[in-house]
Chains A and B, each alone.
Chain A
Amino acid sequence: MSDIKITIIDREGVSHEVDAPTDMNMNLMEVVRSYELAPEGTIGICGGMAMCASCQCYVQSDHVLPEKSDDEEAMLAEAFFVKDNSRLGCQIHITEDLDGLEVELAPAED
């Protein structure tokens, strides 16, 4: 009942509309992993501590997102492929307000 719809464009450019639960204490990075939209080992490397940028994504819808923490700001300052709409997926909690969110995964660093 508390699922929301999120559109995720993977690193190959393929768009996926997925159901994300709001009652499982999940973040966007975990949603991507649960649907295996990016290969294991290429996303969520630090486990969700905002200490790597492997879950960087570009937010394409105009949802109001929570402010970036200092950790997220600092990590994005050192990440590659950063754009104005870059966020770390692990720092975006899935809540009902995010219904209809559209994000694109940033390229993997290699």
Chain B
Amino acid sequence: MLLIALILVPTLTALAIVFAKNSKQVKVMAAAGMSIQLVQSLYLLYVFLAERASGNTEPVVFYQRFPWYNSLNISFDIGVDGISVAMIVLTAIVIFTGIFASWEVEDQYKEFFISLIVLATGVFGFFISLDLFVMFLFFELAVIPMYLLIGIWGSGKKEYSAMKLTLMLMAGSALLVVGILGIYFNSDSNGHHSFNILELAGQTFSMNMQRIFFPLTFIGFGVIGALFPFHTWSPDGHSSAPTAVSMLHAGVLMKLGGYGCLKVAIWLMPQAANELAWIFLILTSISVIYGALGVIAQTDLKYINAYSSVSHCGLVLFGLLMLNKTATTGAVIQMISHGLMTALFFALIGMLYSRTHTRIVHEMGGLMKVLPFLSVCYVLAGLASLGLPGLSGFVAEMTIFVGAFQHPDWFHRFITIVAVSSIVVTAVYILRVVGALLMGPVKNDDHTKFHPATWYEKLATVTLIAGIVIIGIAPLWLSDMIMDSLSAILD
């Protein structure tokens, strides 16, 4: 019931907004709905941990099955494990803060908030579903509102970016169709084909089948996880999108890729994953390095963050492809950590932009003096991004690299060293931007007249920072929760 409520609350919120009368009502409704969503996600986390503490070691808890298309054995299967619970809480935090970060949207506000919440509904549905068909349905539902959100409320070359993003992600999901249908027709549970992940996980597919459908599924999800060379939608899309959409997209939607790669491609077709991992490892380490080096050439704050997202999301796939528990745990923590800090970055960039009306780094300077609160937040986000101990980024990257080094052969060692070197590049670009943006003299006299951070801006940033700090200081419960669920997937 709790899981169904996770889809119902956003749906009802979106419906309620249709009947709102003015922009204030719309925002209050959206905020109320997403607050409920945040509370029930945290409650889900609580009951999930309680369930595990009471000795329930089922791979998936709160499992429910509602028959849907009987003729094709499609049913609405829902249930969560530690990874999905973690992703649900992340999504709830990001959409909650996203609503407050878009508090100043006045242009077609109704449509904006409805599209945003429909997008979030798709994401929540994706994380709770255990049926490949339903999962795919929610996946596409999460992608399509993005076109309107970027196309209508975006900035810059928004129409180009929106179209590019939508078509590339849809091409990814086109490959997924082939992938999941291939899995479906090669499966056999009691004489029927099955879309149910739990039933599929119990089967061994032939090697020939896996060799065809593992790459299709992995690339299909990899496109949205910014796998090189299919990452090119990301910088354009993120830089053109309005603030809340960048937050949600970089913070949560890109994680659908990593989550899907783990839960579908790797879980269901482990032998092919073992055999073909090296190809994708090379691609992901290119993502990691290329993204990091790409940042250095950028001067637009959003492009900077978009390229660094490519690099960080590359690390997620990198960790997953190591195919051991430690690295995979690190990858999942990296998803959450990157989700929180990139959402924080995009929120802050939006807040700065609404004041300075520029996103070019060298047109700003000395913001620490005029906007101390937002600047301190920016520094914190930067430090988390470069992996300072005590913040979430360190925990995630450390775990990934420790896991990666558990492979004794030279190929894994070499590729890990290549990926680790991205940390140095990250430190360079983060510190350069922080220095140019926040330190030094105030470059523009108009910048001294800024109004300080408002309550809704503070609420959004503080919530995100709280998440980053909690994971950074007390990561053990989270890694235990993830590790528990992994034993079903990786063994």
| Pairing of A with B | no
